[in-house]
Structure 1
Amino acid sequence: MASQLLRHSLRAIARTTATKPLMARATTMSARSQLYSVPMITRPFSVAKPCLSAGEADSDLVHKLDEELSYEKENEETTQPAFIKEFLEANSFKLDDKAGHDEVTLTRTFGNETVSVLFSISDINNGETEGFLPEEDEVTEEDEVSFPVRASVTIEKNGKGAVTIDTVAQDGEMTVESVMYYKDGKLASDASAESDWQRRGLYIGPQFGELDEGLQSLFEKYLEERGVNAGLAAFLPDYVEYKEQKEYTQWLENVKGFVSA
């Protein structure tokens, strides 16, 4: 018991002894500060949340984006247009449309073949804008600007390769531009850098318009039997407009959220 009391006493003395020099130094520094009138420098403390978007135009841009978004949502279709369902059912195509992506694919089977139609909504910017355009309130169906939609049609047979036919849909007609054959069917659709490199060295075939007229007619009939026809030509521009509108509305939403964050 006595030894424990002795250890406690020694620890207390040690703490007191260790503290005195620090107190002495603090007293000395304080005295020197008063002697030489040196002002104490302090750093202001703030708990305010940092401003992440500090640009002067940010709030105005967000407001304008919100106005545009509200207008688009008021005029957008809340359900899928009937023309999409009607086309898919009548032509046995399946639609592959990923939100946020520029390209759309239609696929179907025909006998032992797989038919794919690849097109892009960027073609909506290809409308003819040169020359005189009537005022908005004077526009009629005849005055509406038509835009071409390029569609790459690939017909593949297992083990037999594939053909890719470049077409343009406009004014209810499918126009063929070229026909290319791939011995390796993978090259017709594979987007890898290796496949792209191999495609560059292949013969792409003649211009379609240079072929014998009878051969051209038979190629067009060949495509029609596989669903690449006037119905597809009418569908593509309508779907491009529909998807572009959806993507534009989502773009407004995304950019507004980013600027206001």
Structure 2
Amino acid sequence: MRKEAFEGNILRLLRNEIQYELQSASTFKSATKFGSFVVDGRAGERWITLKKRHADEDIKLEGTMFDGAVPAPTPTKDGGVINSDEMQMHITVIVTISKGEGDGVLQITCSAWPDCVEIKRLFIRANENIIAEPYSGPQFTELDDELQESLYDYLEERGINDELAAFLHQYMKQKDKTEYVRWMERVKAFIERK
């Protein structure tokens, strides 16, 4: 009897939380496109994939759900910046650009902040599926300033920009809620199983 009461309490709490989340959820529908990118939300996973064709290139972006946070910068009256108590969420984005069979792929690891994309590293892989760690070059910030700016322009031309960062943050907020509800429903179904 005690086990049934305990499980009944868990089920009641799960039902209440699921109902609350569904009622408080916005009417935002999970996007299937962003600009010329096709979006795959990968239900039940922590990643999403965006793909598109640009001239003779296949471009694939893989983004995590929120995987970190830092204090948000707040401008001061004297033009400086301090860190506030609010947190700024982080998304890791891996950009893979290929130009056909056998040419290798360019991989660029980026941070997507709420209002910008920041390049962290870039390197060439012989094949997108090779697991071995290639030499990834220096930290991006160690490159010549003009080269850094040119690489940002390269991504901008391919639609990997501040608007994409804002889209990813909006999308991931919704995905986080959706995955949370899916997780609670799976826990509930497991406990209900006899």
* Residues 66, 169 of structure 1: alpha-carbon distance in 2 compared, 3 angstrom cutoff: same
Which of 101, 112, 122 aligns to 2:45? It is 101
1:173 to 2:127 alignment: no
Structure 2 match to 1:153: 95
Structure 2 match to 1:252: 184
Which of 32, 47, 58 aligns to 1:114? It is 58
Q: Which amino acid aligns with 1:148?
A: H
Contact 2:120–2:140 (8 Å) recurs in 1: yes
| TM-score, normalisation: structure 2 | 0.84
Contact 2:71–2:86 (8 Å) recurs in 1: no
Q: Secondary structure at the match of 1:127?
A: strand
Shift of 1:223: 0.5
Higher strand fraction: Structure 1 or Structure 2? 2
Q: How far apart are the structure 1 equivalents of 2:152 and 2:66?
A: 26
Q: How far apart are the structure 2 equivalents of 1:243 and 1:226?
A: 24
Q: Which amino acid aligns with 2:22?
A: K
How many residues align? The count is 181
Shift of 1:55: 5.7
Which runs of 5 or more residues in structure 1 are unaligned? 1-50, 131-141
Higher helix fraction: Structure 1 or Structure 2? 1
Which runs of 5 or more residues in structure 2 are unaligned? 73-83
Alignment RMSD (CA, Å): 2.4
Q: How far apart are the structure 2 equivalents of 1:260 and 1:218?
A: 57
Q: How far apart are the structure 1 equivalents of 2:114 and 2:58?
A: 27
Q: Which amino acid aligns with 2:39?
A: L
Structure 2 match to 1:238: 170
Q: How far apart are the structure 2 equivalents of 1:209 and 1:243?
A: 31
Q: How far apart are the structure 1 equivalents of 2:152 and 2:4?
A: 57
Shift of 1:143: 7.3
Q: How far apart are the structure 2 equivalents of 1:247 and 1:204?
A: 33
Shift of 1:204: 1.1
Shift of 1:113: 0.3
Structure 2 match to 1:67: 16
Q: Select the structure of larger CA radius of gyration.
A: 1
Q: Which amino acid aligns with 1:167?
A: C
* 1:20-65 Cα deviation digits (max 9, x unpaired): xxxxxxxxxxxxxxxxxxxxxxxxxxxxxxx9x9465211111111
| TM-score, normalisation: structure 1 | 0.64
Contact 2:42–2:49 (8 Å) recurs in 1: no
Contact 2:66–2:89 (8 Å) recurs in 1: no
Q: Secondary structure at the match of 2:187?
A: helix
Structure 1 match to 2:26: 77
Shift of 1:239: 0.9
* Residues 143, 228 of structure 1: alpha-carbon distance in 2 compared, 3 angstrom cutoff: same
